[in-house]
Structure 1
Amino acid sequence: MCLLTGPASRRSGPRTSVRNATTRTVSDMHRVALAVTDGTPLFELAAACEVFGIDRGLADPWYDFLICGDDGARVGGWLHAGIRRGLDALADADTVIVPSCRDAAEPPLPALVAAVRAAHEAGARIASLCTGAFVLGEAGLLDGRPATTHWAHTTLMRERYPAAQVDPDVLYVDDGDVLTSAGKAAGMDLCLHLVRLDHGTAVANALARTLVVPPHRPGGQAQYIPAAVAHGRDHVLADLMTWALARLDRPTTVRDLARQAGMSPRNLTRHFTAVTGTSPLRWLHTERIRRAQELLETSDLSVEQIAARTGMGTATTLRRHFSHQLGVPPAVYRQTFTRARTD
């Protein structure tokens, strides 16, 4: 049994945004199906296979991973896939991953659209990588929902699916049972986000270390970093973040961060927002909660001790912020992961 921290799916109640997370406990959410059609690009497909298709002993059980589609489909334009399950098998999955389309300008394959819609109606969580969002849009799954895709295709997506609330400035959007991501590396971010929802922060971070990728980039981070930032002082922010994470147990102000980075507070905030999509203090607050999650999952420290180690001050403060962000108090979060380890 695992605790899923994140928006509730249609199985468990109304959907909410990733910024207003709730929790749900399920025992069978482990079958992940990857939809493959002729012309599916290789990168996003490979990212999903690496994350969900290889059991590295990080959690027991890991995912039951299926590749569904057309036998002999060309992947990346030159690899021929040997697939034993058709697209109709998507309806048997708990989570369906829809990678990029061959060409976003072309209408998605009707058989794929129908299979994704049927899987969603059967209760599956649907996640698209990059232009796979066009398949979800065609299936009607994005109507009235926030969503994203690669920034270069957001204008087309708005034109084709006007009922969708397309955001071109985020890495991924978690709307509960429907999730969408931007291009390439953002697909890996979304896959790791799904692992974090299913198995917790410690497992997701361990997997990220194995894959040598950043352990967490929030969905609200900007897709496209302006050249002045990307080629200027973004490396200073990387050093600054490392410094800040090493002292989460201490009070830290924007002035402290600016002094460490050698910037003015205003300049730091401008750079920070461009790179992360959020303010310095909001980023720091999120990292404190994330550290608390990991300590609750992996240690026997009391809530009071965890509050001190994460810079939250008191157990009361930690409980309030933890419950607000994740939807459950720390004790319930810990109990669920303790049960998951002993089941």
Structure 2
Amino acid sequence: MPAIALYVCPQTVCASLSLANDAFGLANHLAGRPLFTVRRVSADGQPVDLGFARIQVDGDLAAAETADVLIVPATGSAIDACLAANAPLLAWLTQRPAHQQIASLCSAAFLLGAAGLFDGRRATTHWALANPFRQRFPGARLDIDALVCHDGPILSSGGAQAGLDLCLYLIAWHTGDALAEQVANTLVVDGRRTGQLRHAPLIPASPARDRQIEPLLQWMQQHHADAIDLNRLAEQANCSPRTLLRRFKACTGMTPNDYLQRLRIGQAQQALRNPAHTLEQVAEQVGYADRATFAKLFKQLSGETPGAFRKRLHLTLPQPSRRTAQQSTGEKKPAG
């Protein structure tokens, strides 16, 4: 009977903790017998206040030594404060039983990374934390698109809901695919979801501000479908191409061409919501002369083809009924 230990600290995201707890509890319920034992542990064995909830625990970190799996739920984005507050966990992780599986959910990957568990290993975390993770743990092989990574005894998951993917993976690993699929179906989730990068914004917030570059970014928004090269952009910004490259990257974190392609694909994502537009029309509308180039860049940046993107939207977005449409527009149904 696999024993699961869930680590709880004041930085624990309550939803992440309950997600893991419920997944294994549901597996036991559906199996009709206790396949997993689940216990909660804290650094000192004392209950943990999570702001609006006080979590009772079953013991301290010593109680986790006999667990087959230790799961560290998400701990939020205050990385430095979290690492400082969980020094006992970091020390314990360096002395953990060699056979034990250790898993991080979302941002908790920073705790495993700080303990050196990802050195030379494949890992993932939330897509928004990719850059700080790479900076802190250059020895890790970050696969930021992955929902779940499993390398040796160490596991990690991406953004919030990917924690459930990791729990389903562990259920399948320890008991078989059938029960994991049953748990997924009961929770009404797709157990075969693809990567997380398609949820990330194509153009992240600019790391710096530049009074000369910001008007250029607005101009590119309006003219993204035009034939644009570096010389035209430099002329628009009233500077040399070399100066533009330097200042543009400092402002946006990417080259002008990278920014333009992401801008075009972002506009294409919006255009694809209209089923009346063919893929060829969308490609031309955002600035690509042929569908093949457009499709290749779209998949590269979005993680799926334009057709798959459109199909997913059709399957996941509810279509408003006539009654709903009438209510939203104030239209009244004709009498009689």
TM over 0.5: yes
Question: Which TM-score band applies after superposition, normalised by the shorter structure?
Answer: 0.5 to 0.7
Residue 64 of structure 1 and its aligned partner are, at CA, apart by: 0.8
The runs of at least 4 consecutive aligned structure 1 residues that moved more than 4 Å come to 218-223, 225-236, 264-281
* Structure 2 CA distance for aligned equivalents of residues 101 and 68 of structure 1: 15
TM norm structure 1 = 0.57
1:35 correspondence with 2:7: yes
In structure 1, the residue matched to 2:150 is 174
Runs of 5+ consecutive residues of structure 1 not aligned to the other structure: 1-27, 237-263, 282-343
1:115 correspondence with 2:87: no
Residue 92 of structure 1 and its aligned partner are, at CA, apart by: 1.0
* Structure 1 CA distance for aligned equivalents of residues 162 and 120 of structure 2: 23
Are the counterparts in 2 of residues 154 and 168 from structure 1 also a CA contact under 8 Å?
yes
Q: Structure 1 residues 61 and 39 mapped into 2: Cα distance closer, same or farther (>3 Å)? A: same
* Structure 2 CA distance for aligned equivalents of residues 229 and 99 of structure 1: 36
Residue 211 of structure 1 and its aligned partner are, at CA, apart by: 1.0
Are the counterparts in 2 of residues 208 and 214 from structure 1 also a CA contact under 8 Å?
yes
Instruction: Give CA deviations for 1:193-228 in whole Å, capped at 9, x if unaligned.
Output: 221222222211110111111122256875526555
In structure 1, the residue matched to 2:106 is 130
TM norm structure 2 = 0.58
Runs of 5+ consecutive residues of structure 2 not aligned to the other structure: 203-265, 276-290, 309-336
Higher relative contact order (CA 8 A, sep 6+): 1
Aligned-pair Cα RMSD in Å: 3.2
Structure number with greater Rg is: 2
* Structure 2 CA distance for aligned equivalents of residues 234 and 195 of structure 1: 37
* Structure 2 CA distance for aligned equivalents of residues 196 and 122 of structure 1: 22
In structure 2, the residue matched to 1:204 is 180
SS of residue matched to 1:53: helix
Q: Structure 1 residues 72 and 173 mapped into 2: Cα distance closer, same or farther (>3 Å)? A: same
Residue 155 of structure 1 and its aligned partner are, at CA, apart by: 1.4
Identity of aligned residues (%): 32
Q: Structure 1 residues 155 and 269 mapped into 2: Cα distance closer, same or farther (>3 Å)? A: closer
In structure 2, the residue matched to 1:47 is 19
Q: Structure 1 residues 95 and 275 mapped into 2: Cα distance closer, same or farther (>3 Å)? A: farther
1:104 correspondence with 2:79: yes
1:87 correspondence with 2:61: yes
* Structure 1 CA distance for aligned equivalents of residues 144 and 20 of structure 2: 22
In structure 1, the residue matched to 2:334 is none
Are the counterparts in 1 of residues 5 and 64 from structure 2 also a CA contact under 8 Å?
yes
Residue 56 of structure 1 and its aligned partner are, at CA, apart by: 1.7
Residue 274 of structure 1 and its aligned partner are, at CA, apart by: 5.7
Residue 186 of structure 1 and its aligned partner are, at CA, apart by: 1.2
Residue 48 of structure 1 and its aligned partner are, at CA, apart by: 0.4
Q: Structure 1 residues 52 and 115 mapped into 2: Cα distance closer, same or farther (>3 Å)? A: farther
Spell out the pairing of 1:1-343 with structure 2 (5 A cutoff).
Answer: 30-54=2-26, 55-58=28-31, 60-69=33-42, 70-75=45-50, 77-102=51-76, 103-106=78-81, 107-108=83-84, 109-119=86-96, 121-218=97-194, 222=198, 224=200, 226=202, 227=266, 233=272
